[in-house]
Structure 1
Amino acid sequence: MSPTAVPNDQFKYSTTEDINSVQTPTSTSEKKIRLRKACDTCNSRKVKCDDQEPSCHECLKHGIECTRNRESKQRGPANKNIQEVKVQQAHKRKRQDDPNIYSDTASPDVSSTTMLPANTSLYREPRLLDVCPLSVLEHLVDDFFTYIYPLVPLPHEPSFYAEFRNTARFSDPAFEALTASMVAVLVASFPRRPRQHLKSEGLEHLFPKSSDFVNSCHRVSAGARGTGYLDQPLNVHTGITSYLLGLSGAYTHQWIRSRLYFAEALSIARILGAESVEDPSFATATNGVKPSIDGVDLIQRELGRRLWWVIFVGARSLNQLGGNFHEIMIGPPNRSSPYPPYPVEVDDQYIERDSIHGQPIGVTSRLSGYNFGLKVYESMTPIRAWASIYGTHTVFDWDQQRKDIASCIRRVKSIFETLPTELKLSPGKEPGQFEATRAIRHDISGSDDLARRELQHEIQKANLYASQLGTRSYLVEMYGNMREQVLQRTGANESSNTLDELDRSIAGERETIVKDLLRALNSISRLNMEPSSINKIRQVASTLIESPNSRKGGVARHAEKYLSQFLKLIMQLEHLDASNPEDVDLVYWSDIRKYQMELVQSGGFLLS
């Protein structure tokens, strides 16, 4: 074969006949005919369908109906963006039509519910029983009413438990949101108790950090409320939920969230009429049965007043700690905006919707200790009247301002002269030891009401003394700062020659505060201090230490070493997370106990 020869099979259409047999290309004007899809039977059998009407050959052969009902598959790759938008819109429509569309589940696996992205068809809002099982939740609710309720008496305990024990407890989204907010506050302010309950169930791995637990509860509460909860008829529990979410945010340093929730709670309380004043004799009566006035729900009325006052206390305490939330600023009372009456001093079991029964004689109500705390912060009202106009440390009429400060100090101290025995603080019989009432077990069962009541009074006692010390210290520092401004204006020097009787009285008050602080540190136990008093104790101690030496007396200088050690240990304790081993936590408290003993043995607060 020559090099240029080509095999004959390369020229398939070399003859005229073959060329004529080749089909010419379809013209552009002719449409290409596409075969219809196979019938359902031929498609499932994977055989060729002849596409005859009304029945194809295969269906006719086997005597079956020939149908073409299956959906056509979309040609080309799926458009993921369009699918995501469709899923989100469908989810939004379901939430608007029925906020409670998702059913409960008893599974404690958080990852299977709360970790799903919102752009999947399996996503749903997390539920409270997804966060923790019912067995743990029951303990957490009991702990809330034991440890948190003495300082934040919300909600109404018997009414809440009646709903909580209902088998359909979480069919109401508002109730689920309230319960989740309660758990969030407990975990944020008392993280070690919830961790113990999780550990007993073998679930401590669910939340390595207490902040994770708090955030999960916040997501549950916010999800249960939905986006349109303010469009629904308002009730006091809406405000309570907002306040508790704000409080948990404050404990976890989520300040923007906290401020928004606090402002919302205060607005709801005002809209519901918490600041309305009724018959004073009705508000102060604690004996006998008082009927409802004009059909008012007395439980709702009392909860509204309590909600207003807890926000009031929060605003005043934040102001003492250096914060200033304009969203919850409450000015002095006046005719158009009076302060509501104090909550009635009877326990919740004696408050019904249509009547309030008297507190048993000889039994101190939990609301009595709470109201003493309100009086401590309300004692600052005369100062807040001019401070809200001119500024806290602005001198405009020094003679009158110094008298107002001294009057407030006397007023806050006089409040403790009428404390019941259960709320009075006294040191133990032996140096460095607590008195017998502080040996109360903290694993109180729900049936042991007497021991539970004693523990709650201990918590209130610690908070009362910390609040009083913080208020007195705040007023004394205000006096000192403003007096320095006056001396700078007049060019006078700080000396004993420039001190008048009132100046010496305030200087003596500073020494008394130091001794009272050391006495409180020696007498308040670990768990009673933990819920709310640590911040206040820390603030008082740091203020006394950082004060100029010219303001410090002999007691303050002598106790400065011990206060510095206490302050260091308390600050270390504050930064401990619940994920730390229990023995690490106990080491810090052991060190605090050691300094308590050294302080007493050295004569600390016994100095005169």
Structure 2
Amino acid sequence: MARAAQPGQYEVPRTSMTSDPSPQGYNAQVYNPQHTSSQAYTPIQVYSQPDDSTVESNLRLLQQQHSPQQTEFHDQYPLHAQLQAAAQEASGDTSSGQMIHALPAMDRIPEHKEKKRLVRACDACSRRKVKCGEEFPCRNCVDLGMECTFERALKRRGPPNRVAQEIKRHKVDGHDESIPVSSVPPSGASIHLIAHSAAVHQMVYEFFTHVYPMFPFPHENLVLNQLAERKDLEDKEFLVLITSMVAILATLMPRAARRALQNDHPGAIDALIMRCVQICTKFRGPMLPKRNANEAATSFFLGIVALHRPASIIDFEDYMQDSLSIVRRAALADQGMDQVNSQLCKRIFWAVYGITRSMRQRIICEDPFPFLLKSQLPALPSSTDDCYIYFDQIHPQPEGHLSLIEGFNISTQIYSGYHDLVILDHDLKTRPAEVDAAQQSATLQSLSAYLDDALKSVSADLVCSLAPGWFSMPLDKDSSSAENIRRGMRWEIQKVDIRVALLTTRFYFTERLVMLVGAHDEMLKGEWIKIFKDLKELLRQSTREGMEPVHYIVAPKLEPIFASFRDGHLGSVVEAEERNFILRLASELFGSHS
């Protein structure tokens, strides 16, 4: 029997539901990123404290029979001493005087108090001789934008331990080159390694608002519930997943991460991303008991981080290969995979496919996909939101409710048209004598026609004019309108992503045709006009606020088109005034968003 869900939580049952689920099963207003697990715990047993009211009343009765000297005694000594002295005097004990004279000695007996263990200070606080907090990173390092590390060696008082020295000497002689990750404090693994709890919860909320529409994994409702239950305390895989989500949010939308951290220092975001990568490196890898969709998502996110940080393209390729290998092994190892992991694996596969295809349009990178026919590619994921996907079945998306996965699938279908060109390039490498220019031209022209029909059957909500006004509205997660504003933001992100995918793919196909038939072909002139009109419409309908969530994904894709405008390659199609207008709009929209 499935465990009963707590009020306001989304529970994924392991057995079938008897009725269709309601989209209200998950309510973003119920999920409170400010909530921490410590607020949910109450003591199992309440221990009562000693009640002195009765004793004090008896003491007052005794004191009424004594001289005023006892009043001074009452003010001078603690309650337990007064009670003992009064009892001795009332019983006529002759040693009472000795007891009264001995009271100062009793007061000098120190009460036993458990000493609080001092927290080890980080390297920066130790050098600055200031108090270091218990959180990680500490508040001092966050305020100064410094990396909070624990790399210095611990000082040990007294003579050296001969056994420890012998072990160290043996390691040196044996050339032990193991290097521990020392930037993680010697405490329990939890989200506090990333930042304080409220900031992490807020950044996860921002991730599902701004990053999830482009890369719809992991399962939103499961992750939010598990984070509220503090699964990070017991599951390193979940901790690594949350860390990678924070890393990609800080990479793609640094301003959202700054808001969550409440830190405007220039180096705060770089320090956060570096810390997240170090945590992932420490706690993930083959030692984890299971390599499932969440692990594949972690590799994908780290690949995007490597692509947009000072890292080589090889790191990006390695992470994408690792993500694909996990997805393939999971599909082969368990043919009876549950619906949640099955859908996530499909989304991750096509996300890797789309990002690598767009990468090959701009720079040379290794193709992570072997030579596959279209029939060998996996099916697209179901156009169903996460709140309708359960472990054993998928409930239908209600009519009139547009799924976020539908927009993701449209972008994927645009890039899947690229597959015929991949096969053509493979033939050019393996048997170039058998592929002539006419065959190449015919393939490219058919792909251009495929793009013309790509949006004909798409929902009008995803191809209508952009409405960037959603991003100017304040997103207060606790307000009644928060979910509606958040939904509008997500659709706008997907609309921009779809248009950019269509625009850049058409530009790439047209560039390939130019190399075959020349720039003065009449058919090519029509393609250039389509590219110019689509680009102009996209830029005129956009705002800086609307472009911010997709800036680091969209700007590199559009850069080859802007470069062709700057170089004057479209002089026969676009007037100089129009060309300068496009470049000015691009500069305003894609300026620094850090």
- The reply to whether residue 306 of structure 1 matches residue 347 of structure 2 is yes
Question: Is this contact kept in 1: 2:468–2:492, CA < 8 A?
Answer: no
Give the match's secondary structure for 1:301: helix
Counterpart Cα distance in 1 of 2:281 and 2:487 = 33
CA contact (8 A) 2:331 2:337 kept: no
SS at match of 2:259: helix
Amino acid of the structure 2 residue aligned with 1:464: I
**Which residue in the other structure is 1:562 paired with?**
581
Give the one of 340, 357, 370 matched to 1:316.
357
Q: Kindly state the Cα deviation for residue 299 of structure 1 after the two structures are TM-superposed.
A: 0.3
1:543 paired residue among 551, 556, 564: 564
Alignment partner, residue 389 of structure 1: 427
Give me the whole-angstrom Cα distance separating, in 1, the residues matched to 2:402 and 2:462: 9
Q: Residue type of the partner of 1:543? A: S
1:108–1:436 distance in 2 versus 1, CA, 3 Å: closer
Q: Distance in 2 between matches of 1:556 and 1:314?
A: 33
Q: 1:520 to 1:391 in 2, by over 3 A?
A: farther
**1:170 partnered with 2:188:** no
Structure 1: distance between partners of 2:468 and 2:496? 14
The answer to whether the aligner puts 1:480 opposite 2:514 as a matched pair is yes
The one-letter code of the counterpart of 1:184 is A
Q: Quick one: distance in 2 between partners of 1:528 and 1:436? A: 8
Deviates more, 1:117-126 or 1:211-220: 117-126
- Is residue 333 of structure 1 aligned with residue 396 of structure 2? no
Does the 8 Å CA contact 2:232/2:238 hold for their aligned counterparts?
yes
- TM-aligned CA distance change 1:162 to 1:345, over 3 Å: same
Q: Separation in 1 of the partners of 2:407 and 2:498?
A: 8
Pair 1:320–1:518, CA change in 2 (3 A):
same
Distance 1:435 1:272, change over 3 A: closer
Amino acid at match of 1:563: I
1:404 aligned residue (407, 430, 443) = 443
- Name the residue aligned to 2:457: 418
Q: CA–CA distance in 1 between the matches of 2:194 and 2:155?
A: 21
2:365 is aligned with what amino acid? N
Aligned counterparts of 2:155 and 2:416: Cα–Cα separation in 1: 53
Corresponding residue of 2:20: none
Overall identity of the aligned pairs, in %: 23
User: How far is 1:241 from its partner?
Assistant: 0.9
Match of 2:325 in 1: 267
1:296 maps to which of 333, 337, 341: 337
Question: CA-to-partner distance for each residue in 1:319-376, whole Å, 9 max, x for gaps?
Answer: 11223224x24534266xx111000000000000001001011011000001000011
Task: Report the 3-state secondary structure (helix = DSSP H, G, I; strand = E; otherwise coil) of the residue aligned with 1:310.
Answer: helix
Q: Which residue of 1 aligns with 2:555?
A: 534
Flag the 1:162–1:475 CA change in 2: closer, same or farther, 3 A.
Answer: same
- In the alignment, what sits opposite 1:512? 530
| Aligned pairs, number | 421
- Equivalent residue, structure 2, for 1:117: 151
Question: Following TM superposition, by how much is the alpha carbon of 1:552 offset from its aligned partner in structure 2, in angstroms?
Answer: 3.8
Specify the code of the residue in structure 1 equivalent to 2:371.
G
Q: Is the 8 A contact 1:298 1:353 kept in 2?
A: yes
Mapped to 1, the partners of 2:242 and 2:469 lie a distance apart of: 34
1:141 aligned onto 2:162: no
Once the two structures are TM-superposed, the CA of residue 547 in structure 1 deviates from its matched residue by 5.7
Question: Aligned residue for 2:242?
Answer: 179
Pick the aligned partner of 1:376 from 411, 414, 424. 414
Distance 1:524 1:570, change over 3 A: closer
**1:545, 1:324 → 2: CA distance?**
25
Change over 3 Å in CA distance of 1:556–1:402 after alignment to 2? farther
CA contact (8 A) 1:376 1:468 kept: yes
Matched with 1:247 is 304
The equivalences for 1:225-240 within 5 A come to 225=284, 228-229=286-287, 232-240=289-297
Partner secondary structure for residue 138 of structure 2: coil
Distance 1:481 1:445, change over 3 A: farther
In the alignment, is the contact (CA less than 8 A) between 1:542 and 1:567 conserved in 2? no
Residues 555 and 247 of structure 1, relative CA distance in 2, 3 Å threshold? same
Greater relative contact order, per chain length (Cα 8 Å cut-off, separation 6+): 2
Contact 2:414 2:502 in 1 (8 A): yes
When residues 164 and 555 of structure 1 are mapped into structure 2, their CA distance, relative to the original with a 3 A threshold, is same
User: Is the CA contact (8 Å cut-off) linking 1:191 and 1:210 kept in structure 2?
Assistant: yes
Give the counterpart letter for 1:466 in structure 2: V
In structure 2, relative to structure 1, the CA distance for the partners of 1:547 and 1:480 (3 Å cut) is farther
Cα distance change of structure 1 residues 376 and 115 upon mapping to structure 2, 3 Å threshold: same
Q: Matches of 1:114 and 1:435 in 2, distance apart?
A: 38
Stretch of structure 1 that moved more, 304-313 or 113-122: 113-122
Paired residues of 1:331 and 1:385 also in contact (CA < 8 A): yes
Deviations 1:143-164 (A, max 9, x none): 0001000000110111111210
Kept after mapping to 2: 8 A contact 1:266/1:308? yes
C-alpha distance after superposition, 1:519-557 (max 9, x if no partner): 100112323323222222333222344363xx5434354
Query: How high is the TM-score relative to the length of structure 2?
Result: 0.65
Indicate the residue corresponding to 1:364 in structure 2.
Answer: 402
The amino acid that maps onto 1:505 is: M
Q: 1:166 to 1:444 in 2, by over 3 A?
A: closer
Q: CA deviation at 1:124?
A: 6.7
**1:269 Cα deviation after fit:** 1.2
Check conservation: 1:184, 1:245, Cα contact below 8 A.
yes
Residues 515, 453 of structure 1: CA spacing in aligned structure 2 closer, same or farther, 3 A cutoff?
same
- 8 Å CA contact 1:538–1:570 kept in 2: the answer is no
Change over 3 Å in CA distance of 1:380–1:544 after alignment to 2: farther
Contact 1:139 1:197 in 2 (8 A): yes
Q: Give the SS at the match of 1:416.
A: coil
1:257 to 315, 318, 322: 315
RMSD: 3.0
- Cα distance in 1, alignment partners of residues 273 and 417 from structure 2: 34
**Cα deviations by residue, 1:136-182 (Å, 9 ceiling, x for unpaired):** 11110000001000000110111111210113433211111110000
Aligned residue runs from structure 1 range 428-439, under 5 A:
none
Q: 1:439 offset after TM fit, Å?
A: 5.1
With the length of structure 1 as denominator, give the TM-score of the two structures.
0.64
Question: Could you say if the C-alpha distance between residues 437 and 125 of structure 1 is closer, same or farther in structure 2, counting changes exceeding 3 Å?
Answer: closer
The Cα shift of 1:233 comes to 3.1
Distance in structure 1 (CA, Å) of the matches to 2:411 and 2:134: 41
Shift of 1:193: 1.0
Q: Quote the Cα distance in structure 1 between the aligned partners of 2:155 and 2:292.
A: 34
Cα distance in 2 for partners of 1:329, 1:543 equals 29
**Where does 1:94-113 land on structure 2 (aligned, <5 Å)?**
106-109=135-138, 111=141
Deviations 1:399-421 (A, max 9, x none): 22112111111112211122212
Contact 2:471 2:545 in 1 (8 A): no
Q: Which amino acid aligns with 1:419?
A: V
- Contact residue 125 and residue 220 of structure 1 kept, 8 A: yes
**Does residue 464 in structure 1 map to residue 502 in structure 2?**
no
Please say which of residues 255-264 and 471-480 is displaced more in the overlay: 255-264
Deviations 1:234-292 (A, max 9, x none): 22211111111111111214233222211111111111227x9xxxxxxxxxxxxxxxx
Query: Taking structure 1 as reference, are residues 415 and 132 closer, same or farther at Cα in structure 2, changes over 3 Å only?
Result: same
